[in-house]
Chain A
Protein backbone atom coordinates (compact mmCIF):
# COMPACT_ATOMS: atom_id res chain seq x y z
CA UNK A 1 0.00 0.00 0.00
CA UNK A 2 1.18 3.52 -0.79
CA UNK A 3 -0.20 6.11 1.56
CA UNK A 4 0.11 9.88 1.56
CA UNK A 5 -0.55 11.72 4.80
CA UNK A 6 -1.35 15.42 4.54
CA UNK A 7 1.08 15.55 1.65
CA UNK A 8 1.97 19.13 0.76
CA UNK A 9 4.55 20.10 -1.80
CA UNK A 10 5.82 23.45 -3.04
CA UNK A 11 8.11 23.97 -5.99
CA UNK A 12 10.93 26.32 -5.04
CA UNK A 13 10.32 29.77 -6.41
CA UNK A 14 12.88 32.51 -6.82
CA UNK A 15 12.38 35.45 -4.49
CA UNK A 16 9.54 33.69 -2.69
CA UNK A 17 10.34 31.68 0.42
CA UNK A 18 7.10 29.71 0.30
CA UNK A 19 7.30 28.79 -3.35
CA UNK A 20 4.40 27.68 -5.52
CA UNK A 21 2.21 25.13 -3.84
CA UNK A 22 1.54 22.21 -6.17
CA UNK A 23 -0.03 19.81 -3.66
CA UNK A 24 -2.08 20.73 -0.62
CA UNK A 25 -2.89 18.29 2.18
CA UNK A 26 -3.37 15.24 -0.03
CA UNK A 27 -4.52 12.10 1.78
CA UNK A 28 -4.62 9.08 -0.46
CA UNK A 29 -4.25 5.31 -0.17
CA UNK A 30 -3.27 3.19 -3.14
CA UNK A 31 -4.32 -0.36 -2.25
CA UNK A 32 -2.03 -3.26 -3.20
CA UNK A 33 -3.13 -4.96 -6.42
CA UNK A 34 -5.43 -2.13 -7.50
CA UNK A 35 -5.44 -0.24 -10.78
CA UNK A 36 -5.84 3.45 -10.10
CA UNK A 37 -6.04 6.26 -12.63
CA UNK A 38 -5.15 9.77 -11.54
CA UNK A 39 -6.88 12.34 -13.71
CA UNK A 40 -6.51 16.05 -13.95
CA UNK A 41 -5.78 18.82 -16.41
CA UNK A 42 -2.36 20.44 -16.75
CA UNK A 43 -1.14 21.96 -13.51
CA UNK A 44 -3.59 20.01 -11.35
CA UNK A 45 -0.68 18.41 -9.46
CA UNK A 46 -1.21 14.87 -10.76
CA UNK A 47 2.37 14.43 -12.00
CA UNK A 48 3.79 16.05 -8.88
CA UNK A 49 1.77 13.59 -6.81
CA UNK A 50 3.06 10.64 -8.86
CA UNK A 51 6.68 11.71 -8.41
CA UNK A 52 6.22 11.41 -4.63
CA UNK A 53 5.39 7.71 -4.87
CA UNK A 54 9.01 6.67 -5.43
CA UNK A 55 10.81 9.56 -3.80
CA UNK A 56 11.73 11.46 -6.98
CA UNK A 57 10.22 14.38 -5.09
CA UNK A 58 10.13 14.60 -1.32
CA UNK A 59 7.21 16.19 0.56
CA UNK A 60 7.52 19.76 1.84
CA UNK A 61 4.92 18.82 4.45
CA UNK A 62 3.27 15.59 5.55
CA UNK A 63 4.66 12.23 4.49
CA UNK A 64 4.47 9.44 1.93
CA UNK A 65 4.66 5.83 3.07
CA UNK A 66 5.43 2.97 0.70
CA UNK A 67 4.49 -0.26 2.49
CA UNK A 68 5.22 1.56 5.70
CA UNK A 69 8.57 2.97 4.53
CA UNK A 70 8.88 6.74 4.72
CA UNK A 71 10.14 8.12 1.40
CA UNK A 72 12.02 10.85 3.29
CA UNK A 73 14.31 8.21 4.84
CA UNK A 74 17.37 8.18 2.61
CA UNK A 75 18.53 4.74 3.75
CA UNK A 76 15.34 3.22 2.30
CA UNK A 77 15.65 5.00 -1.06
CA UNK A 78 16.90 2.04 -3.14
CA UNK A 79 14.33 -0.33 -1.64
CA UNK A 80 11.48 2.12 -2.31
CA UNK A 81 12.60 2.69 -5.89
CA UNK A 82 12.95 -1.05 -6.45
CA UNK A 83 9.40 -1.64 -5.26
CA UNK A 84 7.86 1.31 -7.06
CA UNK A 85 8.83 1.41 -10.73
CA UNK A 86 8.18 4.58 -12.68
CA UNK A 87 7.68 5.07 -16.40
CA UNK A 88 7.83 8.57 -17.85
CA UNK A 89 6.26 10.41 -20.76
CA UNK A 90 9.09 10.47 -23.30
CA UNK A 91 10.26 6.94 -24.09
CA UNK A 92 13.47 8.19 -25.76
CA UNK A 93 14.67 9.85 -22.58
CA UNK A 94 14.50 6.76 -20.38
CA UNK A 95 16.24 4.21 -22.58
CA UNK A 96 19.90 3.98 -21.64
CA UNK A 97 21.40 1.27 -23.87
CA UNK A 98 21.94 0.57 -27.57
CA UNK A 99 20.38 -2.88 -27.45
CA UNK A 100 16.94 -3.78 -26.09
CA UNK A 101 18.16 -6.53 -23.75
CA UNK A 102 20.97 -4.37 -22.36
CA UNK A 103 18.47 -1.66 -21.55
CA UNK A 104 16.16 -4.02 -19.68
CA UNK A 105 19.22 -5.35 -17.83
CA UNK A 106 20.15 -1.85 -16.60
CA UNK A 107 18.06 -1.89 -13.40
CA UNK A 108 18.99 -5.43 -12.25
CA UNK A 109 22.64 -4.63 -13.01
CA UNK A 110 22.36 -1.61 -10.73
CA UNK A 111 20.83 -3.80 -8.05
CA UNK A 112 23.73 -6.24 -8.24
CA UNK A 113 21.59 -9.19 -9.37
CA UNK A 114 23.71 -12.23 -10.47
CA UNK A 115 24.22 -12.69 -14.22
CA UNK A 116 21.98 -15.77 -14.73
CA UNK A 117 19.17 -14.14 -12.78
CA UNK A 118 19.50 -10.97 -14.90
CA UNK A 119 19.12 -13.09 -18.04
CA UNK A 120 15.95 -14.69 -16.64
CA UNK A 121 14.48 -11.34 -15.60
CA UNK A 122 15.25 -9.70 -18.96
CA UNK A 123 13.56 -12.47 -20.95
CA UNK A 124 10.65 -12.59 -18.54
CA UNK A 125 10.10 -8.80 -18.55
CA UNK A 126 10.27 -8.56 -22.35
CA UNK A 127 7.83 -11.46 -22.73
CA UNK A 128 5.45 -9.82 -20.24
CA UNK A 129 5.09 -6.71 -22.43
CA UNK A 130 5.00 -8.69 -25.68
CA UNK A 131 8.47 -7.61 -26.82
CA UNK A 132 10.16 -11.00 -26.64
CA UNK A 133 11.12 -11.02 -30.30
CA UNK A 134 13.02 -7.72 -30.08
CA UNK A 135 15.72 -8.87 -27.63
CA UNK A 136 18.61 -7.83 -29.87
CA UNK A 137 17.03 -4.84 -31.61
CA UNK A 138 18.30 -1.27 -31.49
CA UNK A 139 15.85 0.83 -29.43
CA UNK A 140 15.93 3.86 -31.74
CA UNK A 141 14.45 1.76 -34.55
CA UNK A 142 11.37 0.80 -32.51
CA UNK A 143 8.01 2.58 -32.74
CA UNK A 144 6.83 4.87 -29.92
CA UNK A 145 4.54 2.22 -28.44
CA UNK A 146 7.30 -0.39 -28.58
CA UNK A 147 9.78 1.99 -26.93
CA UNK A 148 7.32 2.67 -24.14
CA UNK A 149 6.71 -1.07 -23.63
CA UNK A 150 10.49 -1.47 -23.51
CA UNK A 151 10.59 1.22 -20.81
CA UNK A 152 7.95 -0.74 -18.88
CA UNK A 153 10.03 -3.93 -19.28
CA UNK A 154 13.06 -2.01 -17.98
CA UNK A 155 11.10 -1.22 -14.83
CA UNK A 156 9.61 -4.73 -14.58
CA UNK A 157 13.10 -6.22 -14.42
CA UNK A 158 13.36 -4.77 -10.90
CA UNK A 159 10.37 -7.01 -10.05
CA UNK A 160 8.47 -4.08 -8.55
CA UNK A 161 5.13 -4.32 -6.73
CA UNK A 162 3.92 -1.00 -8.06
CA UNK A 163 4.24 0.62 -11.44
CA UNK A 164 3.55 4.33 -11.75
CA UNK A 165 3.02 5.55 -15.30
CA UNK A 166 3.47 9.31 -15.47
CA UNK A 167 1.58 10.27 -18.65
CA UNK A 168 3.28 7.32 -20.28
CA UNK A 169 0.83 7.26 -23.18
CA UNK A 170 0.73 11.01 -23.87
CA UNK A 171 3.24 10.96 -26.72
CA UNK A 172 1.99 7.80 -28.43
CA UNK A 173 -0.21 7.22 -31.45
CA UNK A 174 -3.54 5.38 -30.95
CA UNK A 175 -2.05 1.95 -31.75
CA UNK A 176 0.89 2.50 -29.39
CA UNK A 177 -1.48 3.68 -26.66
CA UNK A 178 -3.67 0.63 -27.05
CA UNK A 179 -0.69 -1.75 -26.84
CA UNK A 180 0.74 -0.02 -23.78
CA UNK A 181 -2.66 0.03 -22.04
CA UNK A 182 -3.25 -3.65 -22.66
CA UNK A 183 0.26 -4.46 -21.39
CA UNK A 184 -0.47 -2.53 -18.18
CA UNK A 185 -3.86 -4.19 -17.70
CA UNK A 186 -2.30 -7.61 -18.17
CA UNK A 187 0.45 -6.89 -15.64
CA UNK A 188 -2.14 -5.72 -13.15
CA UNK A 189 -4.48 -8.66 -13.64
CA UNK A 190 -2.05 -11.54 -14.17
CA UNK A 191 0.86 -10.54 -11.97
CA UNK A 192 -1.00 -8.54 -9.37
CA UNK A 193 1.24 -5.51 -9.88
CA UNK A 194 -0.38 -2.39 -8.51
CA UNK A 195 -0.75 0.09 -11.35
CA UNK A 196 -1.05 3.85 -11.00
CA UNK A 197 -1.82 5.57 -14.26
CA UNK A 198 -1.41 9.33 -14.53
CA UNK A 199 -3.36 10.50 -17.56
CA UNK A 200 -5.64 13.06 -19.06
CA UNK A 201 -7.27 10.58 -21.43
CA UNK A 202 -10.74 9.71 -20.12
CA UNK A 203 -10.97 6.46 -22.05
CA UNK A 204 -7.77 5.25 -20.36
CA UNK A 205 -9.01 6.24 -16.92
CA UNK A 206 -12.21 4.33 -17.69
CA UNK A 207 -10.19 1.09 -17.78
CA UNK A 208 -9.03 1.49 -14.17
CA UNK A 209 -10.78 0.19 -11.04
CA UNK A 210 -10.61 3.54 -9.39
CA UNK A 211 -10.34 7.12 -10.59
CA UNK A 212 -8.85 9.94 -8.53
CA UNK A 213 -9.45 13.41 -9.95
CA UNK A 214 -6.95 16.07 -8.98
CA UNK A 215 -7.67 19.77 -9.14
CA UNK A 216 -5.48 22.63 -7.95
CA UNK A 217 -3.31 20.38 -5.83
CA UNK A 218 -6.09 18.58 -4.00
CA UNK A 219 -8.16 15.45 -4.54
CA UNK A 220 -11.39 16.69 -6.11
CA UNK A 221 -13.11 13.34 -6.66
CA UNK A 222 -12.38 9.73 -5.83
CA UNK A 223 -14.39 6.67 -6.84
CA UNK A 224 -15.00 4.02 -9.48
CA UNK A 225 -14.99 5.21 -13.10
CA UNK A 226 -18.77 4.93 -13.23
CA UNK A 227 -19.27 7.04 -10.11
CA UNK A 228 -16.86 9.67 -11.35
CA UNK A 229 -18.00 9.97 -14.96
CA UNK A 230 -21.57 10.22 -13.76
CA UNK A 231 -20.76 13.59 -12.23
CA UNK A 232 -20.56 15.23 -15.64
CA UNK A 233 -21.24 18.81 -14.49
CA UNK A 234 -18.66 18.61 -11.74
CA UNK A 235 -16.05 17.37 -14.21
CA UNK A 236 -16.92 20.19 -16.59
CA UNK A 237 -16.46 22.72 -13.82
CA UNK A 238 -12.83 21.69 -13.33
CA UNK A 239 -12.09 21.60 -17.01
CA UNK A 240 -12.44 17.87 -17.67
CA UNK A 241 -14.83 15.95 -19.85
CA UNK A 242 -16.21 12.46 -19.35
CA UNK A 243 -15.52 9.83 -22.02
CA UNK A 244 -17.36 10.50 -25.27
CA UNK A 245 -19.91 7.76 -24.55
CA UNK A 246 -20.89 9.24 -21.18
CA UNK A 247 -20.99 12.74 -22.68
CA UNK A 248 -23.32 11.49 -25.43
CA UNK A 249 -25.68 9.84 -22.94
CA UNK A 250 -25.58 12.98 -20.81
CA UNK A 251 -26.57 15.20 -23.75
CA UNK A 252 -29.32 12.77 -24.81
CA UNK A 253 -30.65 12.68 -21.26
CA UNK A 254 -30.77 16.45 -21.18
CA UNK A 255 -32.67 16.27 -24.44
CA UNK A 256 -35.33 14.20 -22.68
CA UNK A 257 -34.43 10.62 -23.48
CA UNK A 258 -34.54 8.08 -20.71
CA UNK A 259 -31.07 6.61 -20.50
CA UNK A 260 -28.87 5.05 -17.83
CA UNK A 261 -25.98 7.35 -16.81
CA UNK A 262 -23.24 4.75 -16.54
CA UNK A 263 -22.56 3.07 -19.89
CA UNK A 264 -18.85 3.65 -20.44
CA UNK A 265 -17.84 1.28 -23.21
CA UNK A 266 -18.99 1.91 -26.76
CA UNK A 267 -20.91 -1.39 -26.77
CA UNK A 268 -22.77 -0.61 -23.54
CA UNK A 269 -23.56 2.84 -24.81
CA UNK A 270 -24.89 1.55 -28.13
CA UNK A 271 -26.99 -1.08 -26.38
CA UNK A 272 -28.42 1.50 -23.97
CA UNK A 273 -29.40 3.89 -26.78
CA UNK A 274 -30.89 1.04 -28.84
CA UNK A 275 -32.97 -0.09 -25.85
CA UNK A 276 -34.14 3.48 -25.19
CA UNK A 277 -35.14 3.98 -28.83
CA UNK A 278 -37.09 0.71 -28.79
CA UNK A 279 -39.03 1.60 -25.66
CA UNK A 280 -39.80 5.06 -27.03
CA UNK A 281 -41.29 3.61 -30.20
CA UNK A 282 -43.70 1.58 -28.10
Chain B
Protein backbone atom coordinates (compact mmCIF):
# COMPACT_ATOMS: atom_id res chain seq x y z
CA UNK B 1 0.00 0.00 0.00
CA UNK B 2 2.74 2.45 0.94
CA UNK B 3 4.75 1.47 -2.12
CA UNK B 4 2.43 3.56 -4.31
CA UNK B 5 3.77 6.81 -2.89
CA UNK B 6 5.99 8.41 -5.48
CA UNK B 7 8.43 10.91 -4.12
CA UNK B 8 10.56 13.39 -5.96
CA UNK B 9 8.23 13.19 -8.95
CA UNK B 10 11.03 13.17 -11.47
CA UNK B 11 10.15 12.44 -15.11
CA UNK B 12 13.34 11.21 -16.76
CA UNK B 13 13.85 12.64 -20.23
CA UNK B 14 16.31 14.16 -22.64
CA UNK B 15 14.71 17.46 -23.59
CA UNK B 16 16.39 20.90 -23.65
CA UNK B 17 14.82 21.57 -20.24
CA UNK B 18 16.20 18.34 -18.79
CA UNK B 19 19.66 19.05 -20.19
CA UNK B 20 19.99 22.46 -18.54
CA UNK B 21 22.36 22.67 -15.61
CA UNK B 22 20.31 22.18 -12.41
CA UNK B 23 21.79 25.39 -11.01
CA UNK B 24 20.46 27.29 -14.02
CA UNK B 25 17.03 25.83 -13.43
CA UNK B 26 16.98 26.76 -9.75
CA UNK B 27 18.07 30.35 -10.46
CA UNK B 28 15.50 30.58 -13.27
CA UNK B 29 12.72 29.40 -10.95
CA UNK B 30 13.71 32.09 -8.44
CA UNK B 31 13.70 34.73 -11.21
CA UNK B 32 10.39 33.35 -12.45
CA UNK B 33 8.87 33.75 -8.98
CA UNK B 34 10.16 37.32 -8.79
CA UNK B 35 8.64 38.01 -12.22
CA UNK B 36 5.37 36.40 -11.16
CA UNK B 37 5.05 38.50 -8.02
CA UNK B 38 5.71 41.70 -9.97
CA UNK B 39 2.89 40.94 -12.39
CA UNK B 40 -0.06 43.29 -11.98
CA UNK B 41 -2.31 43.20 -15.00
CA UNK B 42 -3.26 41.08 -18.03
CA UNK B 43 -0.20 42.01 -20.10
CA UNK B 44 2.33 40.90 -17.49
CA UNK B 45 0.38 37.74 -16.63
CA UNK B 46 0.16 37.02 -20.34
CA UNK B 47 3.96 37.18 -20.62
CA UNK B 48 4.38 34.77 -17.68
CA UNK B 49 1.85 32.34 -19.10
CA UNK B 50 3.61 32.43 -22.48
CA UNK B 51 7.01 31.70 -20.89
CA UNK B 52 5.63 28.86 -18.77
CA UNK B 53 3.77 27.33 -21.73
CA UNK B 54 6.98 27.40 -23.77
CA UNK B 55 8.92 25.68 -20.97
CA UNK B 56 6.23 23.03 -20.46
CA UNK B 57 6.09 22.29 -24.20
CA UNK B 58 9.89 22.00 -24.40
CA UNK B 59 10.06 19.72 -21.35
CA UNK B 60 7.38 17.33 -22.72
CA UNK B 61 6.11 16.82 -19.17
CA UNK B 62 2.56 15.44 -19.52
CA UNK B 63 -0.12 18.01 -18.67
CA UNK B 64 -1.84 15.37 -16.54
CA UNK B 65 1.18 15.32 -14.26
CA UNK B 66 1.09 19.09 -13.88
CA UNK B 67 -2.59 19.12 -13.00
CA UNK B 68 -2.02 16.27 -10.54
CA UNK B 69 0.52 18.49 -8.82
CA UNK B 70 -2.16 21.14 -8.41
CA UNK B 71 -4.69 18.80 -6.86
CA UNK B 72 -3.69 19.30 -3.20
CA UNK B 73 -4.06 23.08 -3.49
CA UNK B 74 -7.50 23.19 -5.14
CA UNK B 75 -9.16 23.98 -1.80
CA UNK B 76 -6.71 26.78 -1.02
CA UNK B 77 -7.20 28.22 -4.50
CA UNK B 78 -10.99 28.13 -4.17
CA UNK B 79 -10.85 29.62 -0.68
CA UNK B 80 -8.53 32.47 -1.76
CA UNK B 81 -10.73 33.20 -4.76
CA UNK B 82 -13.89 33.42 -2.65
CA UNK B 83 -12.27 35.53 0.05
CA UNK B 84 -10.93 37.99 -2.51
CA UNK B 85 -14.19 38.00 -4.39
CA UNK B 86 -16.35 38.94 -1.42
CA UNK B 87 -14.04 40.87 0.84
CA UNK B 88 -12.34 43.32 -1.48
CA UNK B 89 -13.70 46.82 -1.07
CA UNK B 90 -14.82 48.75 -4.15
CA UNK B 91 -17.59 49.49 -6.59
CA UNK B 92 -20.19 46.63 -6.58
CA UNK B 93 -20.52 44.68 -9.84
CA UNK B 94 -24.29 45.12 -9.88
CA UNK B 95 -27.32 45.71 -7.61
CA UNK B 96 -28.58 42.12 -7.83
CA UNK B 97 -28.88 40.20 -4.49
CA UNK B 98 -25.59 38.29 -4.32
CA UNK B 99 -23.56 40.35 -6.75
CA UNK B 100 -24.05 43.35 -4.46
CA UNK B 101 -21.29 41.98 -2.27
CA UNK B 102 -18.83 41.55 -5.12
CA UNK B 103 -16.72 44.49 -6.15
CA UNK B 104 -15.15 44.92 -9.56
CA UNK B 105 -11.65 45.07 -8.08
CA UNK B 106 -12.61 41.92 -6.16
CA UNK B 107 -13.21 40.04 -9.41
CA UNK B 108 -9.81 41.05 -10.77
CA UNK B 109 -7.96 40.36 -7.51
CA UNK B 110 -9.57 36.93 -7.24
CA UNK B 111 -8.68 36.09 -10.83
CA UNK B 112 -5.08 37.24 -10.45
CA UNK B 113 -4.67 35.47 -7.10
CA UNK B 114 -5.82 32.20 -8.62
CA UNK B 115 -3.55 32.71 -11.61
CA UNK B 116 -0.64 33.52 -9.34
CA UNK B 117 -1.00 30.37 -7.21
CA UNK B 118 -1.50 28.10 -10.21
CA UNK B 119 1.47 29.61 -12.09
CA UNK B 120 3.67 29.48 -8.99
CA UNK B 121 2.98 25.82 -8.34
CA UNK B 122 3.18 24.73 -11.97
CA UNK B 123 6.46 26.57 -12.45
CA UNK B 124 8.16 25.10 -9.39
CA UNK B 125 6.79 21.63 -10.12
CA UNK B 126 8.31 21.84 -13.58
CA UNK B 127 11.69 22.11 -11.85
CA UNK B 128 11.22 18.92 -9.81
CA UNK B 129 9.68 17.11 -12.77
CA UNK B 130 12.69 17.75 -14.99
CA UNK B 131 15.54 17.58 -12.46
CA UNK B 132 16.58 14.47 -10.53
CA UNK B 133 16.75 14.86 -6.73
CA UNK B 134 20.51 14.22 -6.77
CA UNK B 135 21.07 16.93 -9.36
CA UNK B 136 18.98 19.27 -7.21
CA UNK B 137 20.98 18.64 -4.05
CA UNK B 138 24.26 18.96 -5.97
CA UNK B 139 23.08 22.26 -7.41
CA UNK B 140 21.97 23.55 -4.00
CA UNK B 141 25.30 22.52 -2.54
CA UNK B 142 27.09 24.74 -5.05
CA UNK B 143 24.62 27.60 -5.15
CA UNK B 144 24.63 27.92 -1.37
CA UNK B 145 28.43 27.56 -1.14
CA UNK B 146 28.95 31.29 -0.45
CA UNK B 147 26.95 30.83 2.78
CA UNK B 148 29.79 28.64 4.09
CA UNK B 149 31.65 31.87 4.82
CA UNK B 150 28.82 32.71 7.22
CA UNK B 151 29.39 29.31 8.85
CA UNK B 152 26.20 27.85 7.45
CA UNK B 153 26.83 24.08 7.21
CA UNK B 154 25.83 23.91 3.54
CA UNK B 155 27.56 20.63 2.74
CA UNK B 156 26.07 18.92 5.80
CA UNK B 157 22.58 20.18 4.94
CA UNK B 158 22.71 18.96 1.34
CA UNK B 159 24.22 15.64 2.44
CA UNK B 160 21.33 15.26 4.89
CA UNK B 161 18.91 15.97 2.06
CA UNK B 162 20.40 13.37 -0.25
CA UNK B 163 20.64 10.78 2.56
CA UNK B 164 17.00 11.45 3.43
CA UNK B 165 16.04 10.88 -0.21
CA UNK B 166 18.15 7.71 -0.27
CA UNK B 167 16.44 6.28 2.82
CA UNK B 168 12.83 7.10 1.94
CA UNK B 169 12.27 3.84 0.02
CA UNK B 170 14.10 1.84 2.71
CA UNK B 171 12.00 3.30 5.50
CA UNK B 172 8.76 2.87 3.55
CA UNK B 173 9.61 -0.79 3.09
CA UNK B 174 10.36 -1.05 6.77
CA UNK B 175 7.04 0.61 7.70
CA UNK B 176 5.25 -1.91 5.50
CA UNK B 177 7.00 -4.76 7.32
CA UNK B 178 6.22 -3.37 10.76
CA UNK B 179 2.57 -2.84 9.81
CA UNK B 180 2.29 -6.42 8.60
CA UNK B 181 3.94 -7.66 11.79
CA UNK B 182 1.54 -5.64 13.95
CA UNK B 183 -1.46 -6.73 11.90
CA UNK B 184 -0.39 -10.35 12.38
CA UNK B 185 -0.67 -9.71 16.11
CA UNK B 186 -4.15 -8.29 15.75
CA UNK B 187 -3.48 -4.58 15.39
CA UNK B 188 -6.27 -2.67 13.67
CA UNK B 189 -5.37 0.41 11.63
CA UNK B 190 -8.51 0.85 9.58
CA UNK B 191 -11.47 1.19 11.93
CA UNK B 192 -12.49 3.66 14.60
CA UNK B 193 -12.46 7.42 14.68
CA UNK B 194 -9.54 9.68 13.92
CA UNK B 195 -8.11 9.61 17.44
CA UNK B 196 -8.29 5.83 17.61
CA UNK B 197 -6.56 5.50 14.28
CA UNK B 198 -3.87 7.98 15.28
CA UNK B 199 -3.31 5.96 18.45
CA UNK B 200 -3.00 2.79 16.39
CA UNK B 201 -0.01 4.36 14.65
CA UNK B 202 2.07 4.50 17.84
CA UNK B 203 3.07 0.82 17.69
CA UNK B 204 4.31 1.50 14.15
CA UNK B 205 6.18 4.71 14.85
CA UNK B 206 8.07 3.49 17.92
CA UNK B 207 9.83 0.54 16.24
CA UNK B 208 10.31 2.63 13.11
CA UNK B 209 12.15 5.32 15.06
CA UNK B 210 14.24 2.80 16.97
CA UNK B 211 15.31 1.17 13.75
CA UNK B 212 15.94 4.50 12.05
CA UNK B 213 18.35 5.45 14.85
CA UNK B 214 20.12 2.11 14.57
CA UNK B 215 20.40 2.54 10.81
CA UNK B 216 21.78 6.05 11.24
CA UNK B 217 24.42 4.73 13.62
CA UNK B 218 25.50 1.96 11.24
CA UNK B 219 25.44 4.32 8.27
CA UNK B 220 27.69 6.78 10.08
CA UNK B 221 30.22 4.02 10.81
CA UNK B 222 30.08 2.79 7.21
CA UNK B 223 30.60 6.34 5.92
CA UNK B 224 33.60 6.83 8.19
CA UNK B 225 35.02 3.54 6.97
CA UNK B 226 34.83 4.97 3.47
CA UNK B 227 36.99 7.90 4.56
CA UNK B 228 34.18 10.45 4.94
CA UNK B 229 35.54 13.44 6.82
CA UNK B 230 33.19 16.29 5.99
CA UNK B 231 32.95 18.37 2.85
CA UNK B 232 36.52 19.57 2.80
CA UNK B 233 38.64 18.42 -0.12
CA UNK B 234 35.85 16.38 -1.69
CA UNK B 235 35.80 15.89 -5.44
CA UNK B 236 32.85 14.74 -7.53
CA UNK B 237 32.04 12.06 -10.07
CA UNK B 238 29.96 14.56 -12.00
CA UNK B 239 31.13 18.14 -12.13
CA UNK B 240 28.43 20.68 -12.96
CA UNK B 241 29.36 22.90 -15.90
CA UNK B 242 27.48 25.86 -17.36
CA UNK B 243 27.11 25.60 -21.14
CA UNK B 244 26.22 28.28 -23.70
CA UNK B 245 22.54 27.32 -23.46
CA UNK B 246 22.63 27.90 -19.70
CA UNK B 247 23.95 31.41 -20.12
CA UNK B 248 21.32 32.16 -22.78
CA UNK B 249 18.49 30.86 -20.60
CA UNK B 250 19.79 32.71 -17.53
CA UNK B 251 19.98 35.95 -19.53
CA UNK B 252 16.42 35.49 -20.79
CA UNK B 253 15.08 34.96 -17.30
CA UNK B 254 16.95 38.00 -15.95
CA UNK B 255 15.32 39.93 -18.81
CA UNK B 256 11.96 38.44 -17.93
CA UNK B 257 12.23 39.49 -14.27
CA UNK B 258 13.49 42.98 -15.20
CA UNK B 259 10.77 43.36 -17.82
CA UNK B 260 8.10 42.34 -15.36
CA UNK B 261 9.32 44.89 -12.81
CA UNK B 262 8.98 47.59 -15.48
CA UNK B 263 5.56 46.32 -16.59
CA UNK B 264 4.47 46.23 -12.96
CA UNK B 265 5.53 49.86 -12.47
CA UNK B 266 3.55 50.82 -15.54
CA UNK B 267 0.55 49.04 -14.10
CA UNK B 268 0.15 46.74 -17.13
Contacts and interface: CB of A to CB of B under 8 A. Distances in A.
A85 B227 CA distance: 10
A115 B239 contact: yes
Nearest to A93: B218
A112 interface: yes
B3 to A, nearest CB: 11
B225 A54 contact: yes
* Chain A, interface SS category: helix
Interface string A138-163: 11100000000001001100100000
B237 A105 contact: yes
Nearest to A84: B225
A215 B238 CA distance: 47
Given A81-B227, A99-B134, A158-B226, A112 B221 contact: no
Contact of B166 (A56, A98, A112, A115): A98
Interface string B146-184: 000000000000000011011001100100000000000
A1 to B, nearest CB: 20
A92 B162 contact: no
Interface residues of B, number: 29
A81 B224 contact: yes
Interface string A153-196: 01100100000000000000000000000000000000000000
Interface string A115-129: 100110010000000
Given A97-B166, A115-B239, A140-B169, A109 B234 contact: yes
A6 interface: no
A110 B229 contact: yes
A213 interface: no
Contacts of B228: 106, 110
Interface string B186-222: 0000000000000000000000000000010011011
Contact of B227 (A107, A118, A151): A107
B235 interface: yes
B239 A56 contact: no
Contact of B163 (A78, A96, A155): A96
Interface string A216-244: 00000000000000000000000000000
Q: Is the interface of B mostly helix, strand, loop or mixed?
A: helix
A108 interface: yes
A49 interface: no
Nearest to A117: B235
A56 B224 contact: yes
A193 B226 CA distance: 17
B162 A98 contact: yes
Contacts of A119: 237
Residue of B166, B218, B223, B224 with highest tally of chain A CB at under 10 A: B166
A107 B225 CA distance: 9
B230 to A, nearest CB: 9
A78 B227 contact: yes
B106 interface: no
Interface of B: 132-134, 162-163, 165-166, 169-170, 173, 215, 218-219, 221-229, 233-239
6 contacts: A86-B225, A94-B218, A96-B163, A108-B235, A110-B229, A118-B235
